[in-house]
A and B are shown apart, each in its own frame.
Chain A
Amino acid sequence: MTHLLEVKDLEVKFALRFGELTAINGVSLTLDKGERLGLVGESGAGKSVTGFAIINLISKPGYISDGCVLFEGVELNRLSAEKMRNIRGNRISMIFQDPMMTLNPVLTIGTQMVETLQAHQNISKKAAEEVALEKLQKVQMPSPGKRLKQYPHEFSGGMRQRIVIAIALLTNPALIIADEPSTALDVTIQAEIMDLLLELCESEEMGLILITHDLAVVSQVTEKILVMYAGKIVESGLTQDIISDPKHPYTQGLIKALPGSLQPGTRLNQIPGMMPTLTDIPPGCAFHPRCNICSSVCRIEVPSLTSLDDHGRMTACHIVEKEIKEAKAKSE
């Protein structure tokens, strides 16, 4: 069976004056119909670039230097621009962080929704408006008929994000890529938007890639998680496995750094230092200068993603790998 989306060894580079930067280095992932995947990491980890690369939106000086993206069996990064447009915004939709930036401030919501539909389907204006109305109802927009004639500035942040989601749903996509959809929103609104996305994914059987830095949000919405650090996947697996038993020291650090798991007032577990910039990624494991269990091999050799079990649990850490090998040898 082909997967809905399969990304194999994706590599994205940016050609700059002083040389090339590797923003994404060998990212692989699979997503099936109706599955929800979280892409987690801090700023600069390459999560958004991965999202853009999937829908072939990397603009110059960046380019996909290696690997491939298969969507419903079609290799996206070899498609012509025109064929790509048939898929992007149609079969795959994207939701961005800031709803004010994604909506055109001088066009009404209705115009923007009709425009999107007509770009992808041969549909009359009247029929398109009906579809728009139906989608606004689906995102629980109060009095949708009236809303179609309003401009983006007449809506609050949460309502705007609902409109963006409604626009993403217009063409009944098979996959939605949501890039920090709730980061700009308040907690109460965030909870509503996340509930809505979850419901929609379940009722419409859509695949979802949720890009976020918020582990708590991801843990409530997704089934699988990929943790990224400095352009690479450092850990992947089922959400509950990763949250309850993180293996990679970076994932462990991220989870422990969250206040809430500790007695109030006590010192938080911090990861020392900060994420390296792409210009000077350390040799060996990129995380080693911040790692508390790093050994000599970590400074020289780049760890590769290794399978830990049969449920797709993988991690890229020399120390974890060694421990598992030892445990295996013991049991044998």
Chain B
Amino acid sequence: MNNNRLLTLKNLVKHFDISGGLLDQLSLEKGRVIRRRTTVKAVNDISLTIYPGETFSIVGESGCGKSTLARTTIGLYPPDRGEIYYRNDRIDTLTPQQLLPYRARMQMIFQDPYASLNPRKTVRQTLEEPVIFHNPSISTKEVKNKVAGVMEQVGVDPQWVDRYPHEFSGGQRQRISIARALMVDPEFIIADEPVSALDVSIQAQILNLLMEAQQKRGLTYMFITHDLSVVQHISTRVAVMYLGTLCELASARELFESPCHPYTQALLSAIPNLGQHKKKHVKLKGEVPTPIKLPSGCVFHGRCLYADERCIREIPRLSRLDSGTFVACHGTEEGRL
């Protein structure tokens, strides 16, 4: 295997069983009692590779499975099928004990800084916990210095170390969440909508902070967001998700200049641009289908303007184009689009 890979996902599948108890599963059909399970097919057969030092963004609308993908990658959910490799080591089969060293190298930042910090812990307690947990032999003084150093780096005054989360604004809380992730000197950070809950001027501050931290520490990001202008600004490569599958994967520049997949095209045309009055955007038919009952063939066919009979029947595979873009679409493959 190539040594230059930081993280590899192979055919990852994550479904959630939401059928409830036995009685909830039973239904009466044609005079017979039938037991049926209901599963949400959140992530279906996703393969991708993340290289060191890059910012890999995953975009898609709500409910497309991007957060589930992030959480499965970091081990918060066990995958149903598929393999996850960190560098060359397979990590999805490890016991929690064996996983510990990897947990220190992979950290996560969550969307809502109001919900992701423990309200009953001071900033000091929040920041010290991961360091002491992963490194029990560390001296008290070292921990203290480290907390102060990281707080300084994320732009929160180290004097406020004994305050509680409610004493901070949303932007500052998100800085503290970032500080918590940085405390264990990770290599890889998964950021799940880190700026979506913040105001524009604060959003710029946090994005700058994330970009700075990446430069200084050589971090790799997996960045989950629905905000396409943010993606365009910070990403190296972008993956577009729709209903649990990848439809397009390309370098940020390539994707925004020449989107290939019809869904990507529609998504990009919907971004409101500053000052451009009344731009025509690609209108999609209908609505996103439910992930409980996935459409046959290409999951996008019901809303696609170019879908034909093959799209309804056959699932398109992700294939590489000359430009380096990976796209899963029969139309582009056949040269119809």
Contact = CB atoms under 8 A, between A and B. Distances in A.
A102 to B, nearest CB: 19
A269 B274 contact: no
Nearest to B281: A191
B229 A188 contact: no
A186 interface: yes
A194 B204 contact: no
B271 interface: yes
Given A215-B200, A267-B211, A259 B278 contact: no
A264 B252 contact: yes
B322 to A, nearest CB: 23
B199 interface: yes
Interface in B55-82: 61-62
Contacts, number: 119
Interface in B227-277: 228-230, 232-235, 252-253, 266-267, 269-277
B277 A219 contact: yes
B277 A220 contact: yes
B304 to A, nearest CB: 13
Contacts of A213: 199-200
A260 B203 contact: no
B202 A268 contact: no
Nearest to A44: B199
A265 B237 CA distance: 12
Contacts of A26: none
B168 to A, nearest CB: 10
Contact of A259 (B207, B269, B273): B207
Contact of B275 (A189, A240, A259, A275): A240
B233 A268 contact: yes
A43 B208 contact: no
Nearest to B253: A264
Interface string A196-230: 00100000000000000111110110000000000
B37 interface: no
A158 interface: yes
A108 B274 CA distance: 39
Contacts of B284: 188
B309 interface: no
Nearest to A275: B199
Interface in A253-272: 253-255, 257-262, 264-265, 267-272
A224 to B, nearest CB: 13
Contacts of B208: 267-268, 270
A187 interface: yes
B205 interface: yes
B199 A219 contact: no
B116 to A, nearest CB: 19
B200 A190 contact: no
B287 interface: yes
B201 A265 contact: no
A134 interface: no
B272 A268 contact: no
A194 B276 CA distance: 14
19 contacts: A156-B288, A159-B287, A186-B226, A191-B269, A191-B272, A191-B281, A216-B272, A220-B273, A220-B277, A243-B275, A254-B200, A258-B204, A259-B204, A259-B229, A261-B274, A264-B232, A270-B204, A270-B205, A270-B208
